[in-house]
Structure 1
């Protein structure tokens, strides 16, 4: 199946980054953002700039959207339930589905709703996009890492990769996508939560001793939990994640640090919430993540 159009649920940093790239390479008609009526009225005509340049990207009401060929979920985990309801009328038997949500649980929730046939496993990594007050800034676009789940139909991953190739969206096909998802979770558990709790940036989390300690300790607990889940993450991979953050724009910040500034609900349950729950299941101690979870909830409550 040849895909000509990408329908995106979520017009935040990741959705805007990859949607704008696709629109620039494949044309404005190749990208469509879907919103519920209330959000459409509030945001459909907001002025948007990307790296300082004005950019127009098409948004439509969910009730008026066309059936999706490629459906990309780029909402926050806290909004996935509503996004699944809005997307349901758009999903047909040939709709290919990609989730770019953080964590390792979103694909299961999507497949519970639409089945596994056309759902792939994916994660976006290596980007440093920041979206605040209508302005998207990034210096690294990273890549979308793709792979088949156990029950994904043959050819689905290739259909999506073909569209990304034609649309200029950077991607990497993974032989072991579950390993990649856990490696990304290790990174997010460390950098997202640490920068949120300390009000930090990529620069501070890789240079200030206490933030480094927190960042690395949280990642090491993910390694231990992942091993109990049958996924072996190495110390070299952990070091690589640290070095990746050190290569980002020093004043850039991951999503949870942006949430702190904007006073938005965070995805803490996808990070320390998941790791602490699996730690209890496997009798693996996770004190750093327990502390991070408590601190994030305290900061959220202070708003």
Structure 2
């Protein structure tokens, strides 16, 4: 069944970038951003600029939400619990759901509330968006990779892929989406945390020196943990993720580095926290991620 109405939870870089493209495919009146009622009161009149152009998106409070064909979650992990509550009015019997959150655990939390039948697994990667003071800039829109979970109903992935095609959003359907999710987690564990701790950019993290050593060491620890979890991630996958970073604007920065500038709570628990917790299950040593977690917490506490 074609997707014609879309709601997005999360009005940050990921939600705005993809939402601006989807609006052109379904029509702006069929796309809405939904916020919890308190957040709506604070942000309903925010001026949003994307690559120099003012945007006019429909934003509604969760209390006014009605079922739509597709719900996209594009919040940070720190806002997932609230997002799951805020989307309740949006979910009808045939509503499809896609989560574009970082990490490998958000879908389990969503499924615990709404089930797996219309939920897919997905990641977004390769975007170099910077979102500061309600101004979004990007030169690479990246891509979405998606696939079915074990209990996803037939046709759901195809319906979402059809919408992405109509919206001109680069995407690919993965047979083994969990492996791709772990590869993305490996990349984030390296680039997000390194740039946050050092106040760096994509360019500085890939240049020879301490930042690059930190990046690679953190990623190799994540790779070892993935393998222990039964997800086969190779050195070739690591090199592929490094290549993705190398193709981004060298002066750009990932979300955690932007969090440091904006003094916002980061997703370090999703990155180093996940790696440390899973490493302990398997008796693996992950000193680089332990150091990164400690250093990020120190920076956050200084605010």
Instruction: Give, in angstroms, the shift of residue 162 of structure 1.
Output: 1.3
* Contact map agreement 2:139 2:249 (CA 8 A) in 1: yes
> Is residue 31 from structure 1 mapped to residue 31 from structure 2 by the alignment?
yes
Moved more, 59-68 or 172-181: 59-68
Contact between 1:22 and 1:30, CA under 8 Å: does it hold in 2? no
Structure 2 runs not aligned, ≥5 long: none
Give the whole-Å Cα distance in 2 for the aligned partners of 1:32 and 1:215: 37
Alignment partner, residue 5 of structure 1: 5
- Counterpart-to-counterpart distance in 1, 2:248 and 2:122: 22
Q: Which moved more, 1:19-28 or 1:94-103?
A: 19-28
> Does the 8 Å contact 1:193/1:268 carry over to 2?
yes
Given that residues 98 and 122 in structure 1 are in contact (C-alpha distance below 8 angstroms), is that contact kept between their aligned partners in structure 2? yes
Which stretches of structure 1, 4 residues or more, deviate above 3 A after TM superposition? Answer: none
> Where do 1:1-303 residues align within 5 Å?
1-303=1-303
Residue 208 of structure 1 deviates from its aligned partner by 4.4
Structure 1: where are the runs of 5+ without partners? none
Residues of 2 paired with 1:158 and 1:247: CA distance? 29
- Larger CA deviation: 18-27 vs 249-258: 18-27
Aligned residues: 303
Does the Cα contact within 8 Å between 2:99 and 2:106 map onto a contact in 1? yes
SS of the residue 1:21 aligns to: helix
Aligned 8 A contact 1:279 1:285 in 2: yes
User: Is this contact kept in 2: 1:21–1:168, CA < 8 A?
Assistant: yes
| TM-score of the aligned structures, taking structure 1 as reference length | 0.98
Whole-Å Cα distance in 2 between the matches of residues 83 and 48 of structure 1?
A: 21
CA distance in 2, matches of 1:249, 1:268: 23
Q: CA deviation at 1:246?
A: 1.6
Q: Distance in 2 between matches of 1:167 and 1:242?
A: 28
C-alpha deviation, 1:241, in angstroms: 1.3
* C-alpha distance in structure 1 between counterparts of 2:272 and 2:29, whole Å: 39
Partner SS for 1:266: coil
Give how far 1:25 is off. Answer: 3.5
Q: Distance in 2 between matches of 1:259 and 1:227?
A: 30
1:30: Cα distance to partner? 3.1
For residues 138 and 58 of structure 2, the distance between their equivalents in structure 1, rounded to whole angstroms, comes to 21
- SS at structure 1 position matched to 2:87: helix
Q: What TM-score, normalized to structure 2? A: 0.98
Secondary structure of the residue that 2:200 maps to in structure 1? coil
CA distance in 1 between partners of 2:142 and 2:188 (Å): 15
Q: Deviations over 1:187-217 (max 9, x none)?
A: 0000000000000111111114100000000
The Cα RMSD (Å) is 1.0
Partner Cα separation in structure 1 for residue 228 and residue 267 of structure 2: 23
Q: Please state how far the C-alpha of 1:285 moved relative to its aligned partner.
A: 0.9
Choose 124-133 or 199-208, whichever is displaced more: 199-208
